[in-house]
Structure 1
Amino acid sequence: MSDTISDTCPPTFGFRVEAESEAVPEARRKIVALVRGWDVPLPDDAFGDLELLSTELITNAVRYTRASCAVAVRWTGVRVRVEVTDVSPARPHRRHGSLEAEGGRGLLLVESLATTWGSTPDPAGKVVWFELGPSGGTPPPRSTPGKWTITTDSGSATSGYLPAWAEDDPTEAGVPMDQLPERLAGINHRNFFEGPMLPLTAPDVWEGVEEDAVFEGSVDCNPYDPDPGLRVPVVNLQVCVGRWILGLDPLGVAEIAAKLRAHADFLDEKVRPALIAAREDWVAHQPA
């Protein structure tokens, strides 16, 4: 992505970090230099935190996946936001009073220094992000309803509708003409929503039982997708970590909702009474 900053949209920049030892320090320096160059109202002492937090997220991404990751840096109008996307669906989990990512050194540093931070599922794996800036108030949305425009280095412009609910604006300037098809293919209007937290276990990812969300997901629209059914908004549901139900149209969402309601009723009206009866029977026949 180009680091050209438009007067009509907040600064944003993205780049890829290879899984090499020297790549992390280079990425850290690039992020700090980029934000300083934007001349945003971030306190001087926050740049040290920016460096430390960026290092932590990028190191975790490349160390535990042994693959490259994608970094996006944004100015929301209130805070600096750094997003790191890697290929692993395993999201950071709290264990034994600490925060760990794929068994790594932990993300307690992120929790203590960042204004806010979190993670979201992504078709590529996951996104882990943090923000630095004022803790009061709510940052404005990072996209503006109406229109996105990608301008090439030859001056030609391609535009499209930008939904009000989209979390990102693909607007970009100075794109090499031969990279335009790739940029268009990568446009994904997205808005995440949360799911209920349930106790899950995944022996191949973490030990023991962890509280995690199920049936969380996102509203997605890929206007240049080869599949016409994905060029309109659909819902993608992650059943649990790394497991998704994809490409739902409105009827599909209704069908899933009906099944969840039916399953909830089944658990409450059938399974729960049977469990109570079984426990009472056990106590009656197997004294402590």
Structure 2
Amino acid sequence: MLGSAAPHLQQATSAETRTIHLRAASWCSDRHTETQQARVDVCCLTSSPGIRLPMRFDGEDEIGGEALFTFTAVEPFCSDPGRRVPHVCLQVADGVWLSPLAPHELSNVIYQLRTRLDELERQVLPQLTVALAEW
């Protein structure tokens, strides 16, 4: 076993090639069937699709982009201790990430998003509807 940082992984090292063969966490979408050349490259993950939204960068044409895509990951040999335990990475919009998020941090993000979406529904949408009707 690899120790308490990675109790779900099992290791076997080949003396000839000095490579590490790993068995992934049960929730991991990567079966780690290929030989890992370096421990730091090991990452167990599973993902959850985001939503497609119309997006544009300042001065650019509209593009379709993905928002709120997430993946749960653990990188048991990473130098960052926060990544050695299961965490969530949240893509706010294409190319913009919040990561890694521990459960209490993800909960805070969800609360803030929920609060903002409620404000959009209660305040901004009615204001926009009135402004459009008056226009």
TM exceeding 0.5: yes
The aligned counterpart of 1:232 is 85
Answer yes or no: is 1:276 the counterpart of 2:129.
yes
Written as runs of structure 1 = structure 2, the 5 A alignment for 1:2-13 is: none
Cα deviation digits, residues 131-183 of structure 1 (max 9, x gap): xxxxxxxxxxxxxxx6554532437785666211111133445x7xxx5xxx1
| Equivalent position amino acid for 1:247 in 2 | P
In the aligned structure 1, how far is the partner of 2:80 from the partner of 2:9?
22
Residue 92 of structure 2 aligns to a residue whose secondary structure is strand
The aligned counterpart of 1:260 is 113
Could you state the TM-score of these two structures normalised by the residue count of structure 2?
0.79
Cα deviation digits, residues 8-42 of structure 1 (max 9, x gap): xxxxxxxxxxxxxxxxxxxxxxxxxxxxxxxxxxx
Would the aligned equivalents of 2:90 and 2:99 in 1 still touch at CA under 8 Å? yes
Segments of 5+ residues of structure 1 without an aligned counterpart are: 1-145, 283-288
Segments of 5+ residues of structure 2 without an aligned counterpart are: 1-7
Change (3 A) 1:192 1:167: same
Residue 88 of structure 2 aligns to a residue whose secondary structure is strand
Structure possessing the higher relative contact order (Cα contacts under 8 Å, 6 or more residues apart): 2
Q: How many equivalent residue pairs?
A: 128
Would the aligned equivalents of 1:185 and 1:224 in 2 still touch at CA under 8 Å? yes
The aligned counterpart of 1:94 is none
What CA RMSD, in Å, does the superposition of the two structures yield over aligned residues? 2.6
Would the aligned equivalents of 2:24 and 2:30 in 1 still touch at CA under 8 Å? no
Could you state the TM-score of these two structures normalised by the residue count of structure 1?
0.40
The aligned counterpart of 1:248 is 101
Equivalent of 1:154, from 16, 19, 23?
16
In the aligned structure 2, how far is the partner of 1:148 from the partner of 1:203?
48
Cα deviation digits, residues 227-286 of structure 1 (max 9, x gap): 11110011111111111111100001111111111111011100001111112222xxxx
The aligned counterpart of 1:219 is 72
Would the aligned equivalents of 2:66 and 2:93 in 1 still touch at CA under 8 Å? yes
Would the aligned equivalents of 2:42 and 2:75 in 1 still touch at CA under 8 Å? yes
Residue 252 of structure 1 aligns to a residue whose secondary structure is helix
Runs of 4+ in 1 over 6 A off after TM superposition: none
| Deviation at residue 222 of structure 1 after TM alignment | 0.3
